[in-house]
Structure 1
Amino acid sequence: EVPTTVEALAGARDIIAERVADDATLRGRVRRIYEEDATVSSKIMYGKDEEADAQKFRDYFEWSESFKDIPSHRMLAIRRGEKEGFLLMRVEVPLERVVSQALPDYVKSNGPAGKHVTQAVEDGCKRLLMPSMETEARLLAKKRADETAITVFADNFRELLLASPLGEKRLLAIDPGFRTGCKTVVLDRSGKLLHHTVLHCTAGSDRQAYDAAVEVMALIKKHDIEAIAIGNGTASRETEAFIKKLKLPSSIPVVMVNESGASIYSASDVAREEFPNEDVTVRGAVSIGRRLMDPLAELVKIDAKAIGVGQYQHDVDQRALKASLDDTVVSCVNAVGVEINTASKQLLSYVSGLNASLAENIVAWRNENGAFTSRDQLKKVPRLGEKAFEQAAGFLRVRGGAHPLDS
């Protein structure tokens, strides 16, 4: 029982307010208002404006912009600031716009009852409907920003994967550094490690720099080096300047290589399997050299997210990002094709029709029986059936094989 008329009317207004908030037709109209006319605003949280970590969000201390026009990177930046506790973000439309959409459906008279219904509609819009629609709008904005950012990440990653390979050259690869020196390796034309050393050419004494120069020249002469790869991380410019002072022949190009993710690779299971007896610093230098030879073949060994292909990549939907980057790798590998006698199992696993298990079987068969002389020999690989062969054969090459069309 309701003891008083006042409480009865309040209860009735609450019922109407909830009905307004749950009205699917009204929600559809209000949703369009948010999508077309809402404003995204952000402001600094009280007492946070002087904190050092907050300064990277200074541009958004007092910010507002149209919801439909806000770019992906700005939305992700504001969301990050909010997540870290420095910013407060709102997605708002005028209350009057929302109430005006609801009133005609609920208020049928100007009498005392109409006044109570109007009050209930206003309460339902302000207290229940608009917070719910703001949450929807925020989720929509996040989804749009994620999709745009992920597309940019995938495009950037595709450019890295499809960068022009130098090809099979004898390489001197250098992972630059100051205090610990420059980790230096020599690779043959197939990417096999021949020699490794540490050069103190960036932060040591003049004597150490001289000794490093003598050692570099000796390595170039001994191994008939055809190109030099330098990682683009710490001390890269100093290392490049040191190499160029040696006045090497113009036939030996010196190339800066993006080393993002090389440290991740050097500590990975893949690297430990390839170089079980070498230090992580040596593995990183090898990766830098191989990236110059064949970016696609080397980068597929590394988790794409570790390569750092764009801003805010840790703020977007990680499952969608992984799916997009994996699709990009598959697309690139199959667009370029794979030389079956030199490809790693990681590269082979991305070929259409193959998976990690079949790629491992192919490499094991190749190690046991020698190089493939034709694509037809793939049928001898354990567990590689007719359907898998049919799907994979068009993307595999056998250079110098028995059948000209196989290459």
Structure 2
Amino acid sequence: MQLIPYITKHTQLPEKSIQHTVELLDQDCTVPFISRYRKEKTGNLDEVQITAIVQYKEAFEVLEKRKSTVLKSIEEQDLLTDELRSQIEIAANLVTLEDLYLPFKKKRKTKAETARKNGLEPLAKIIMAQNHTNVEQAAERYVKTEIKTVADALEGARHIIAEWLNERISVRNQIRNQLERSAMLTTKVIGTQRESEKAQKFRDYFDWSEALKRCPSHRFLAILRAENEGFIRVKVEIDDDHMLSKIADRIIKSNNSCVPQIRMALADAYKRLLFPSLSNELLKVAKEKADAEAIKVFSKNLKQLLLVAPLGEKRILAIDPGFRSGCKVVCLSAQGALQHNETIYPHAPQNKSSEAIKKISSLVDSHKIEAIAIGNGTASRETEQLIKRIHFKNPIEVYVVSEAGASIYSASKIARDEFPNYDVTVRGAVSIGRRLADPLAELVKIDAKSIGVGQYQHDVDQSKLQSSLDSVVERCVNSVGVNINTASVPLLSYVSGIGPKLAENIVAYRTENGSFADRATIKKVPRLGEKAFEQGAGFLRIKDGKNPLDDSAVHPESYPIVKQMAKDTGKSISDLIGNTSELQQIDLNNYLTENVGLPTLKDIIEELEKPGLDRREKAKVFTFDQNIRKITDVREGQLLPGIVNNITNFGCFVDIGIKESGLIHVSNLSDSFVIDVNAHVSLQQQIIVKVLSVDIARKRIQLKLHKG
């Protein structure tokens, strides 16, 4: 099996596009770079398609590595035939490969191995041949030494037959197919846990039964979590008698005394070897599918969160609210630098609201504050109410900002390095303010798994989750672009071709030599070679630099093309930028070359029309219902404003301004069938919801999306 046909089979993408993409990947090109600047090579594949090629390329390499190990192992046993080698080499997946390898795997001491040592393999062959009319008589010849009776001889032969049946690929596939079609997932509560308080969140699964193929990923993961926490037992079940009958029909070809022995061996093989192994395999596959679905949901949510509308470069006063410990207040410059910090105590038990109002008003005036950011944690609503009582001299926009992961950041090494002389409360407040200014730049400092959007992220394969989330962050960062003169090390590290070490070198060079005046200067950064420059330059922006193209997504390798366009139109590059009427008249066919085609030229024109345009929307002020402070204020039938704060496959959660988020179940998102929750709502979207029910005891609020 060859790599390109393998990827083509799984992706259905053009073979030529795959070939060129693989070549670029082998040259250490990144996905963002390939999708943006090598469209002619890939046939205009997007990031999702290129990522799929990366994944199947990796899967193929894992498969080939395993084949090599298997072939070596069988060869060392001197059992490798030409036919077996061919079967292994054409194996299209790991399941087929492992089935082929099963008979040659080194096993612990088994009943079949003991029977072979006692010389019973010829008897097993006689039975399987199904030609002998008196199998007991045939077995008498094998009664010797360790084999005391005919019954012992027949039992040993059955152990050998059971192992043969377990290793027979056709039998394994027959059971696999039946499991895939009709396996039932059943659960039973462990007796002592039925009344356990901790187990109550899983009580729906105390006695559950469902076709495994119809079990949605979120429910499957919930069931596995309940099992892992010791509340329930999980089993896979099919009609065993029907399955045994179907297998017997395939392997039994006579009606003599051998048949009962084969049936007993089959029953033993099925119960002891085949079903446990293949049902576990089925659960493993189901878990992998559920993981993939959960990771997909998490990745979608993360992308939406990272691309949430930024406020931009504004002077911000940020508040991390609290009751007993007070509210930590910081003032940030338009570039996010910390200028002032202190603590106010407007709420119980101190209740120094008058002092707090005076202090906030004074800070807003002295630091020329343009916006206020309030964390959405404890005392958030009370703090928001306090701020809205203040009469500022100039209009001040007030935003409630998600604190998700802020505590992780404030205690991290990144935060300690940024603010070595301040405690975690100050760092947390700074993070809240910076999230309002630029969510992407701030959130990249936090482990994406700590942000808490998605479903069952702690239950899925953590390495696959990390890989997927890192890929999402990389795509988001590069799609927006990064100001090299203000970006932090964590943000720069996600730029195509840069990575953590070069990001540190960039910041160190910037600190020592001042701002970068043009993209060419980037090459002076220690250890940043031509390859890294090629991969990253187009995503690094320089504001107010020597060359206006440096603040655009036009890659330096295409500067000569723009220079020629400007010359041909009789204008300078600066005059050409933003001049839509002039740009639209340019005949792109005049600039086609062997390596530069229309896709790249169209991208250049689009970028010149709106250079450095931030694809994100601008932040909008949002106000919760002022009468809703706690869950007991929520009533059935109310229409309330809310913000979508998490999306899952079974619906979305909505912040309505209280501690408990409400759930819009997938069935309440639309009057028609909902295939994809993301088609109806997006993370951080401001919506109106209708309250369907309130369960105060379980702290659950059911909502419906209102489309009035």
- Using the size of structure 2 for normalisation, the TM-score is 0.56
One of 137, 140, 157 as aligned partner of 1:12? 157
1:398/1:20 CA distance change after superposition, 3 Å: same
Q: Is the aligned partner of 1:79 residue 2:224? A: yes
Q: Which residue is equivalent to 1:110? A: 255
AA aligned opposite 1:310: G
Q: Which residue is equivalent to 2:536? A: 392
One of 309, 312, 329 as aligned partner of 2:453? 309
Residues 168-216 of structure 1, C-alpha deviations (whole Å, 9 max, x = no match): 111110111111111111101000011111121232344x011111111
Q: Which residue is equivalent to 1:59? A: 204
Q: Which residue is equivalent to 2:267? A: 122
AA aligned opposite 1:165: P
Q: How does 1:324-335 map to 2 (within 5 A)?
A: 324-335=468-479
Q: Which residue is equivalent to 1:365? A: 509
AA aligned opposite 1:313: Q
Q: How does 1:287-326 map to 2 (within 5 A)?
A: 287-326=431-470
Q: How does 1:259-274 map to 2 (within 5 A)?
A: 259-274=403-418
Q: How does 1:176-187 map to 2 (within 5 A)?
A: 176-187=321-332
Structure 1: runs of 5 or more not aligned: none
The worse-fitting range, judged by mean Cα deviation, of 240-249 and 297-306 is 240-249
| Whole-angstrom distance in 2 between the partners of 1:192 and 1:13 | 78
Q: Is the aligned partner of 1:33 residue 2:162? A: no
One of 388, 411, 416 as aligned partner of 1:244? 388
AA aligned opposite 2:456: Y
| Whole-angstrom distance in 2 between the partners of 1:280 and 1:66 | 49
Query: 1:20–1:102: 8 Å Cα contact kept in structure 2?
Result: no
Per the alignment, in what secondary structure is the counterpart of residue 85 of structure 1?
coil
One of 352, 371, 377 as aligned partner of 1:227? 371
Shift of 1:104: 2.2
Shift of 1:381: 1.4
| Whole-angstrom distance in 2 between the partners of 1:323 and 1:359 | 20
Residues 344-366 of structure 1, C-alpha deviations (whole Å, 9 max, x = no match): 11111111111212111111111
Structure 2: runs of 5 or more not aligned: 1-143, 552-708
Query: 1:30–1:101: 8 Å Cα contact kept in structure 2?
Result: no
AA aligned opposite 1:83: N
Residues 293-314 of structure 1, C-alpha deviations (whole Å, 9 max, x = no match): 0111111111111111223111
Query: 1:98–1:125: 8 Å Cα contact kept in structure 2?
Result: no
| Whole-angstrom distance in 2 between the partners of 1:247 and 1:6 | 97
Shift of 1:247: 4.8
- Using the size of structure 1 for normalisation, the TM-score is 0.96
Shift of 1:248: 4.7
Shift of 1:15: 2.0
Query: 2:478–2:495: 8 Å Cα contact kept in structure 1?
Result: yes
1:90/1:248 CA distance change after superposition, 3 Å: farther
Query: 2:297–2:455: 8 Å Cα contact kept in structure 1?
Result: no
| Whole-angstrom distance in 2 between the partners of 1:120 and 1:296 | 62
% identical equivalent positions:
55
Query: 2:495–2:539: 8 Å Cα contact kept in structure 1?
Result: yes
Per the alignment, in what secondary structure is the counterpart of residue 68 of structure 1?
helix
Shift of 1:116: 2.2
Q: Is the aligned partner of 1:50 residue 2:195? A: yes
Per the alignment, in what secondary structure is the counterpart of residue 200 of structure 2?
helix
AA aligned opposite 1:192: A
Aligned residues: 406
Q: Which residue is equivalent to 1:405? A: 549
Per the alignment, in what secondary structure is the counterpart of residue 311 of structure 1?
coil
AA aligned opposite 1:200: Y
| Whole-angstrom distance in 2 between the partners of 1:193 and 1:12 | 80
| Whole-angstrom distance in 2 between the partners of 1:156 and 1:57 | 25
The worse-fitting range, judged by mean Cα deviation, of 179-188 and 113-122 is 113-122
| Whole-angstrom distance in 1 between the partners of 2:325 and 2:198 | 30
Per the alignment, in what secondary structure is the counterpart of residue 402 of structure 1?
coil
Shift of 1:97: 3.2
Query: 1:174–1:229: 8 Å Cα contact kept in structure 2?
Result: yes
One of 170, 175, 187 as aligned partner of 2:315? 170
AA aligned opposite 1:23: R
One of 335, 349, 355 as aligned partner of 1:204? 349
| Whole-angstrom distance in 2 between the partners of 1:306 and 1:348 | 20
| Whole-angstrom distance in 2 between the partners of 1:122 and 1:114 | 12
| Whole-angstrom distance in 2 between the partners of 1:166 and 1:135 | 51
AA aligned opposite 1:227: A
Q: Which residue is equivalent to 2:237? A: 92
| Whole-angstrom distance in 1 between the partners of 2:167 and 2:246 | 14
| Whole-angstrom distance in 1 between the partners of 2:513 and 2:192 | 70
Q: Which residue is equivalent to 2:50? A: none
The worse-fitting range, judged by mean Cα deviation, of 8-17 and 62-71 is 8-17
| Whole-angstrom distance in 1 between the partners of 2:397 and 2:242 | 65
| Whole-angstrom distance in 2 between the partners of 1:126 and 1:356 | 53
Query: 1:176–1:236: 8 Å Cα contact kept in structure 2?
Result: yes
AA aligned opposite 2:485: N
> Which of 1 and 2 has higher RCO (CA within 8 Å, sep 6+)?
1
Q: How does 1:142-161 map to 2 (within 5 A)?
A: 142-161=287-306
Residues 129-188 of structure 1, C-alpha deviations (whole Å, 9 max, x = no match): 111111101111111111100111111111111111100111110111111111111101
Per the alignment, in what secondary structure is the counterpart of residue 446 of structure 2?
coil
1:250/1:64 CA distance change after superposition, 3 Å: farther
AA aligned opposite 1:318: Q
| Whole-angstrom distance in 2 between the partners of 1:389 and 1:271 | 28
1:163/1:110 CA distance change after superposition, 3 Å: same
AA aligned opposite 2:256: G
CA RMSD of aligned residues (A): 1.4
